[in-house]
Amino acid sequence: MGNQTERVATDTLDSSELLQEQVRAALRSGTGLQISGGGSKSFYGRRVSGVTLSTAAHRGIVGYDPSELVLTARCGTPLSEIEAALAERNQMLAFEPPHFGGAATLGGAIATGLSGPRRPYAGSARDFVLGAKIINGQAEVLAFGGQVMKNVAGYDVARLMTGALGTLGVLLEVSLKVLPRPAAELTLVQHRTPAEAIDVMNIWARRPLPLSGCCFDGDRLYVRLSGAEPAVRAAHDRIGGEILKDDRSFWLSVRDQQHAFFDGPLPLWRVAVPPATPPLDIPGKWLLDWGGSQRWLRSDADAPAIHRHASRAGGHVTLFRGGDRSGDVFHPLVPDLMELHRRIKAAMDPEQVFNPGRMYAGF
Amino acid sequence: MVTRDLNPHMRRELIRTLRRSLPAAAILHDPEALRAYECDGLSAYRELPMLVVLPETVEQVRAVLAACSERGIPVVARGAGTGLSGGALPNADGVLLSLAKLNRILEIDEHNRIARVQPGVRNLAISEAVAPLGLYYAPDPSSQIACSIGGNVAENAGGIHCLKYGLTVHNIQALTFLTPDGRLLAVGGGAPDSPGYDLLALLTGSEGLLGIIVEIVVKLLPRPERAQVALAAFDDAEKAGAAVAAIIAAGIVPAGLEMMDNLAIRAAEEYVHAGYPVDAAAILLCELDGMNEEVSEQILQVRRILTQCGAASVRTAQDERERLLFWAGRKAAFPAVGRLAPDYYCMDGTIPRRNLARVLVRISEMSASAGLRVANVFHAGDGNLHPLILYDASRPGDLERAEQLGARILELCVEVGGTITGEHGVGVEKIDQMCLQFSAPALTQFHALKHAFDPQGLLNPGKAIPTLRRCAEYGAMHVHGGKLHFPEIERF
């Protein structure tokens, strides 16, 4: 048995016991811990106090079997290392986690739960999480989920940890579903008005086309097609447009916010809305990704006004970069829901040791 | 079975209170009427509830919860009652809350590709309603003609297209639920993600223990342009397993990839005449979907791989009629196997696929020593195995032997790195095996999360997550690998 199995042992530094000891020490002394992997997303969320708990040394791919489509790695493993190991076997992380130009780690990618341009078509970070090993707020090492695609035993704590910004525990190890890289990929460009762009992105999404990215920069609409070569060719014929030469660097620039749109001092807002929502009437500069459902806004408009517009459209808002990092960075929750969040936090981290205040004030 | 009426006064008083908010016909208390609700799809477990309520509005559901919460009465939610793990088994001292009458599709938004539905809507009814728009709802559990979307969310139901299209958790965007004390909360919406914790994921598959779901927003996908299926016969299950790995290693993600063993093949063939090769040790059904051009290319690739992996024969469906016929055999596998014996018991483990051959050999050894036949039906693409244990409940000791064999099979799944349930849920059925899969601190963490949602412990008590005491008792019976899983717990 095991002829299909492949164990890729890269750097096998297991520092889970050391991390557990640091959590115990923080509990004893009543100090808050600020969890940090590669530091590439330290700008994200609310400003947080506490002693740094670095997960960077806890790294290494601990299991990867290409024919099972499952990879397990420690939280400090750089995303670049994981992506290189996958690329060797012609596979990928289909949610395209942002690196933001830094030494992004798996732990940070899952803790922030952020996904790149392929997300509406392939799934989000949490969609690919199969299991996680964590340290909870009582310094216990716990395992949830597993290394298989289908698993409904117990509450889905591994997915609850995704996007919780480290406020519920330290991610030690994560198992992810991975996917084959598409055989062919192509990006087409069309000139469109904002209203047209939104319309056409949503018309395409209702058809069985091999879409893997739809982004509009205010003037040009970029459509990425991925799949078997004949499917990409056929979709190209149906959609039309000019072929973008350096398509890979364009999508990376959107994923990592290196695109010129992201330059400059104005606060960066992420406005998430139902994809077919018409252009929103908020002053500022817009870049639409995810087929219209993730809209980046550079604006110094009032936070309450932006919240109001997004709520009215059935969406929600994040102050992604800049602005006041001690206020409501994430969309405010209704009181009953906030109360439930506090109780979940208390269930996982009763002493409030992890990333205090990073998501919402008070926990 | 005798109705237990521990507190007739409380029951009468509760009925009086509920009548203020619900029509009399929506409250069942006559033992004969209650009998229809004594079990779900797992009929080996039966219990009569104190009352059954059939609310028709969210406001009525809220009234039921408020009344029960004030009195400390347990509430068990039920959808269509097709569950296979006893998740909707009534509590003798509690209220069975049927959500079947909340069965309206509230909104179809074709532009944003979502539908807002009530929990009692049948899974298949959603795809039927949006079919004229060229859209469908992807998860397709085999009971989709009857099962409700609320039950699908509670169990995180799968189906035969999971590898490519995901489980329920991947195909819903918002939930509205009531807390046990009757507060209405909404998470998610038409926009991607939601602020705060991913409660959508936490509630999906929580088996009715965390909240009562009263509204669901599901994602709708465009119907693929074409689907084509290949049927391959193998003289050895290990070769079939290797073919599955080879297809996936070639970069193909089939829409469906199913395997059946000889006993299941013969039963299905006899039942629906799907044209299956009855002398094969195993068959694989591999379905590809997508754009016409893509399917044409990939079906050739798949044929080549199957042949290289030693398939004795490979056939592709000549037309849509034959494609549906190939699937009809697979979809009828459970009832077909059910004709081989008076009763059958369906298991639901998931294993890493690389261990398939080893697991099948062990199951056949265990089956022989238990003296009970086992047919295997396998969602090969995602590793979800359904061994069907044949027995005769009228023969003394048979049910117990079937349950013991089932428990051993689940233990085997955990041992090879898998899980005790891939899609049917834990319910009451697999609650003991939870003790093998999770450590005591992990179970304690589950209970703490449950407490955050339901401090009184009124929602579906006794299901899904075992108490540590129960695990200690179970551990005393089954010492696993020479080690006690719960050495720190007092024994009884």
Residues 6 or more apart from A283 whose CB is under 8 A from it? A299, A301
Q: Measured between CB atoms, which of A69, A160, A272 is closest to B201?
A: A160
* CATH number of residue A227's parent domain: 3.30.70
Mind listing the pLDDT tens digit for each residue in B267-295?
A: 999 999 999 999 999 999 999 999 999 99
Contact (CB<8Å) B222/A233: no
Q: What residues in A contact B430, CB-CB < 8 Å?
A: 153
> Å from A173 to nearest chain B CA?
15
Q: How many domains does chain A have?
A: 3
Task: Answer whether B417's CB lies under 8 Å from B73's CB.
Answer: no
Q: Same structural domain for residues A307 and A285? A: yes
In a shared domain, residues B61 and B123: no
Q: Give yes or no: residues B109 and B208 share one domain.
A: yes
Together in a domain, B173 and B127: yes
Instruction: Out of A139, A165, A180, pick the residue that ends a domain.
Output: A180
Q: Which of A211, A313, A248, A95 is nearest to A297 (CA)?
A: A313
Best residue of A155, A170, A203, A316 to probe chain B, by most B CBs closer than 10 Å: A155
Q: Judge whether A61 lies within some domain.
A: yes
Locate all alpha helices (DSSP H) within B138-228, ordered by sequence. Answer: 149-155, 162-165, 199-203
Q: Is residue B326 located within the same domain as residue B371?
A: no
- Give the integer Cα–Cα distance in Å for B10 and B335: 42
Assess if residue A352 is contained within a domain: no
A24 and A85 in one domain?
yes
pLDDT for B212-226, tens place per residue? 999 999 999 999 999
Are B74 and B62 in contact by the 8 Å Cβ rule? The answer is no
Measure in Å the smallest separation between the Cα of A122 and chain B Cα atoms: 9
Q: Chain B: give the shortest CA distance to residue A175, in Å.
A: 13
- Candidates B109, B78, B85; CA nearest to B174 is B109
Examine the domain organization and report whether B231 and B218 are in the same domain: no
SS3 per residue for chain A: CCCCCCCCCCCCECCHHHHHHHHHHHHHHCCCEEEECCCCCCCCCCCCCCEEEECCCCECEEEEEHHHCEEEEECCCEHHHHHHHHHHCCEECCCCCCCCCCCCEHHHHHHHCCCCCCHHHHCCHHHHEEEEEEECCCCCEEEEECCCCCCCCCCCHHHHHCCCCCCCCEEEEEEEECEECCCEEEEEEEECCHHHHHHHHHHHHCCCCCEEEEEECCCEEEEEEEECHHHHHHHHHHHCCEECCCHHHHHHHHHCCCCHHHCCCCCEEEEECCCCCCCCCCCCEEEEEHHHCEEEEECCCCHHHHHHHHHHCCCEEEEEECCCCCCCCECCCCHHHHHHHHHHHHHHCCCCCECCCCCCCCC
Query: What is the token pair recorded at B410?
Result: 């689940």
How close is the nearest chain A Cα to the Cα of B65, in Å? 17
**3-class SS of residue B334:** helix
Any domain includes B3: no
Residues in chain B: 492
The verdict on A192 and A128 lying in the same domain is no
* Rounded-to-integer distance, Cα B301 and Cα A128, Å: 27
Residues of A in contact with B222 (CB under 8 A): 205-209
Q: Are residues A27 and A62 in the same domain?
A: yes
Nearest CA in chain B to A328: B195
Res A49: pLDDT: 86
In our burial notation (b when 16+ CB lie closer than 10 A, e otherwise), range A19-38 reads bbebbeebbeeeebbbbbbb
Q: Are residues B117 and B215 in the same domain?
A: yes
Are both B64 and B17 inside the same structural domain?
Answer: yes
Domain-located, residue A152: yes
Could you tell me the CATH number of the domain that includes residue B77? 3.30.43.10
Contact A160 B198 (CB under 8 A): yes
- Classify residue B426: in a domain, yes or no: no
List phi, psi (to 5°) of B177.
-140, 160
Residue A85 belongs to a domain with what CATH number?
3.30.465.10
Measured CA to CA, the distance from residue A35 to residue A51 in angstroms comes to: 8
> Does the residue B425 lie in any domain?
no
Amino acid at A273: V
Does residue A33 sit in the same domain as residue A118? yes
> Has residue A114 been placed in a domain?
yes
Residue B235 lies in a domain: yes
Determine the distance in angstroms separating the CA of A313 from the nearest CA of chain B, rounded to an integer: 9
Judge if A88 and A205 occupy the same domain.
no
Mean pLDDT per block of 10 residues along chain A (363 residues) reads 42 85 98 97 94 96 95 98 98 98 94 98 98 98 95 97 98 98 97 98 97 97 96 96 97 98 96 98 97 97 94 97 94 96 98 97 88
The interface predicted TM-score of the complex, written ipTM, equals 0.96
Residue A4 lies in a domain: no
What pLDDT was estimated at residue B357? Answer: 86
Record: contact B453-A343, CB cut-off 8 A: yes
Q: Smallest CA–CA separation between A107 and chain B, in Å?
A: 16
Q: Counting one residue from A and one from B, how many pairs have CB atoms under 8 Å apart?
A: 281
Domain enclosing residue A312, as ranges:
260-321
* B361 neighbourhood in chain A, CB within 8 Å: none
For position B287, which CATH number holds? 3.30.70.3450
Question: Per residue in B130-156, is it b (16+ CB within 10 Å) or e — as a string?
Answer: beeeebbbbbbbbbbeebbbbbbbbbb
Residues A203 and A242 in one domain: yes
Do A250 and A164 lie in a common domain? no
B218 and B322 both lie in a single domain:
no
**Predicted confidence (pLDDT) per residue in B183-232, tens digit:** 999 999 999 999 999 999 999 999 999 999 999 999 999 999 999 999 99
Q: Return the closest-CA partner of residue A136 out of A12, A18, A27.
A: A27
Q: How high is the pLDDT of residue A270?
A: 98
* Residues of B with Cβ-Cβ distance to A165 under 8 angstroms: none
Q: How close does chain B come to A207, measured CA to CA in Å?
A: 5
Helices B356-370 and B237-249: angle between axes, nearest 10 degrees: 150
How far apart are the C-alpha atoms of B423 and A150, rounded to whole Å? 7
User: Is B384's pLDDT higher than 90?
Assistant: yes
Residues of B in contact with A333 (CB under 8 A): 195-196
Range of the domain at B275: 226-334
A94, part of any domain: yes
Mean pLDDT of chain B: 93
Where among B158, B190, B222 does a domain terminate?
B222
How sure is the predictor about B491, in pLDDT bands with cuts at 50, 70 and 90?
very low
Record the tokens describing residue B416, joined without a space: 């090879």
Report the C-alpha gap between A233 and A210 in whole angstroms: 10
Closest chain A residue to B437, measured at CA: A153
Residue B61 covered by a domain: yes
Is the domain of B348 the same as that of B330? Answer: no
**What is the C-alpha to C-alpha distance for residues B60 and B184, in angstroms, rounded to an integer?**
12
Q: Is residue B215, in this structure, part of any structural domain at all? A: yes
* Nearest C-alpha neighbor of A96 from the set A116, A111, A80: A116
Q: What is the DSSP letter of B90?
A: P
Q: Are residues A188 and A168 in the same domain?
A: no
- Radius of gyration of chain A from Cα atoms? 21
Task: Give the number of domains in chain B.
Answer: 5
> In this structure, is residue B245 part of a structural domain?
yes
Partner residue facing B202 (CB), from A142, A155, A336? A155
CA B451 to the chain's CA centroid: 24
- Identify whether the C-beta of residue A212 lies closer than 8 Å to the C-beta of residue A179: no
- Whether A204 and A277 map to the same domain: the answer is no
The two structure tokens encoding residue B350: 């998931």
Q: Six-digit token pair at B60? A: 């009525």
Of the three residues A150, A180, A210, the one that is the final residue of a domain is A180
- Chain B: closest CA distance from residue A80 (Å): 21
Can you list the alpha helix ranges (DSSP code H) found in B234-339?
Answer: 237-249, 262-272, 292-308, 320-331, 333-338
Query: How close B353 gets to chain A, by Cα (Å)?
Result: 7
Any idea what the CATH number is for the domain that residue B181 is in? 3.30.465.10
Q: Of A147, A155, A336, which has the smallest distance from its Cβ to B352's Cβ?
A: A147
Q: Is residue A129 part of a domain?
A: yes
Residue of B nearest to A4 (CA): B354
A232, A133: one domain? no
pLDDT for residue B1 is more than 80: no
- Shortest CA distance from B431: residue in chain A: A153
Does the distance separating the beta carbons of A148 and B422 come in below 8 Å? Answer: yes
Closest to A291 in 3D by CA, of B219, B274, B319: B219
Interchain proximity A336–B156, CB inside 8 Å: no
Q: Quick one: B212 and B258 in the same domain?
A: no
Query: Same domain, yes or no, for B363 and B451?
Result: no
Task: Name which of B112, B291, B465 is nearest A208 (Cβ-Cβ).
Answer: B291
| Best residue in B200, B294, B305 for a mutation probing chain A (most A CBs within 10 Å) | B294
Instruction: Write down which residue in A239, A255, A271 finishes a domain.
Output: A255
In a mutational test of the A interface, the residue from B187, B193, B226, B247 whose CB has the highest number of chain A CBs within 10 Å is B193
The verdict on residue B148 lying in a domain is yes
Q: Where are the alpha helices (DSSP H) in B346-417?
A: 356-370, 398-415
Q: Which residues of A touch B351 (CB under 8 A)?
A: 148
Q: Are residues B251 and B160 in the same domain?
A: no
Which of helix, strand or coil describes residue B230? strand
Residues A120, A227 within the same domain: no
Q: Which residues of B touch A168 (CB under 8 A)?
A: 197
Nearest CA in chain B to A149: B382
Residue A244 resides in a domain = yes
d(CA B313, CA B112): 44
